[in-house]
């Protein structure tokens, strides 16, 4: 019988982590945990409180006071903060452009990592983010680092926004994505980085289904021999 592993998926912005993690979790009957949504929800609350994202103590106080919940319904992640549905609000531009600043602080990351470890303690999770393989689940049974060129990642996000009827500027998106990756990679605590024992998958020329089948193949093959 398949034991319930934890699967870590990391990578830069727009590499397809959440899309692939969600599908992989559905195939395996595992729980999908979107850690980016947790940092986004905190950033939303920081904006609501008109606090300074650079002020670590102020941000920490907000994190310790707020009640954050992630739920999966019909294959989608729903996020509530203090019982308010912020699922759409946390994807807006104001949150996206500030999230890497709130996520930079060591004490914020330490609290978040504790929460994320707890969510995965029973196994059977697919968790995506930037530090899952390196800091949150260093003992995960499977670690994948999804990547794609910044041009391709911007193109994918551009297509998604147009499809949702949103305004989108491809050049601006590419600049924003590259800048977010830079801040995430240069922070001192648990920067965006491939874990030494993670498998890097360049998805630039792969479809979503090809990526999912590739990862699923590895998980099923390894589990067959356990």
Ligand X SMILES: Nc1ncnc2c1ncn2[C@@H]1O[C@H](COP(=O)(O)OP(=O)(O)OP(=O)(O)O)[C@@H](O)[C@H]1O
Ligand Y SMILES: Nc1ccn([C@@H]2O[C@H](COP(=O)(O)O)[C@@H](O)[C@H]2O)c(=O)n1
Residue 125 interacts with ligand Y (CB under 6 A): yes or no? no
Phi, psi of 70 (to 5 degrees): -115, 130
| 8 A C-beta contact, residue 193 and residue 185 | yes
Instruction: Identify which of residues 192 and 212 has a Cβ nearer to ligand Y in the complex.
Output: 192
Task: Please identify which residue in 5, 8, 10, 14 interacts with ligand X, judged by CB under 6 A.
Answer: 14
Report the alpha-carbon distance of residue 66 to residue 51 in Å, rounded. 14
Please give the size of the binding site for ligand Y, defined by CB under 6 A.
Answer: 14
Residue of 101, 85, 120 whose CA lies nearest to 39: 101
Q: Interhelix angle for 93-102 vs 35-48, to 10°?
A: 100
Query: Residue 191 interacts with ligand Y (CB under 6 A)?
Result: no
CB of 34 to ligand X, least distance (A): 8
User: Mask 144-163, x = binds ligand X (CB under 6 A)?
Assistant: ------------xx--x---
The interface partner of residue 186, options being ligand Y, ligand X, none and the CB cut-off 5 to 8 Å by kind, is none
- Answer for the pair 223, 34: CB distance below 8 angstroms, yes or no: no
Within 14-73, the residues that bind ligand Y by CB under 6 A are 35-36, 39-40
Say if residues 149 and 156 touch (Cβ distance below 8 Å): no
The reply, when asked if residue 15 is annotated as ligand binding, is yes
Query: Is 29 annotated as ligand-binding?
Result: no
217 annotated among ligand-binding-site residues: no
Residue 35's binding partner, choosing from ligand Y, ligand X, none, with beta-carbon cut-off 5 to 8 A by kind?
Answer: ligand Y
- 94: part of which helix (H) or strand (E)? helix 93-102
Cα torsion 46, 21, 83, 123: sign: negative
Query: Which residue in 4, 19, 47, 87 binds ligand X (CB under 6 A)?
Result: 19
Where does this chain bind ligand X (CB under 6 A)?
11, 13-19, 36, 156-157, 160, 203, 206-208, 211
- The annotation places the binding site for ATP at 11-19
């Amino acid at each position: 019988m398949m034991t319930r592993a934890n699967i870590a998926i990391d990578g830069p912005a727009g590499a397809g982590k959440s899309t692939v993690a969600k599908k992989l979790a559905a195939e395996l009957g595992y729980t999908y945990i979107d850690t980016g949504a947790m940092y986004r929800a905190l950033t939303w609350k920081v904006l609501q409180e008109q606090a300074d994202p650079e002020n670590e103590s102020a941000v920490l106080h907000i994190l310790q006071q707020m009640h954050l919940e992630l739920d999966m319904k019909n294959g989608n992640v729903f996020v509530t903060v203090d019982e308010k549905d912020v699922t759409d609000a946390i994807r807006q531009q104001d949150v996206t452009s500030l999230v890497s600043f709130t996520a930079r602080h060591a004490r914020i990351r330490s609290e978040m990592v504790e929460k994320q470890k707890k969510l995965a303690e029973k196994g059977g999770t697919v968790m995506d983010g930037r530090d899952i393989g390196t800091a949150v689940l260093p003992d995960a049974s499977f670690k994948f680092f999804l990547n794609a060129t910044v041009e391709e990642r911007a193109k994918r996000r551009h297509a998604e926004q147009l499809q949702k009827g949103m305004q989108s500027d491809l050049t601006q998106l590419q600049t924003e994505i590259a800048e977010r990756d830079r801040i995430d990679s240069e922070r001192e605590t648990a920067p965006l980085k491939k874990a030494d024992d993670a498998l890097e998958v360049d998805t630039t020329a792969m479809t979503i289904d090809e990526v999912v089948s590739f990862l699923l193949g590895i998980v099923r093959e390894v589990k067959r021999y356990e």
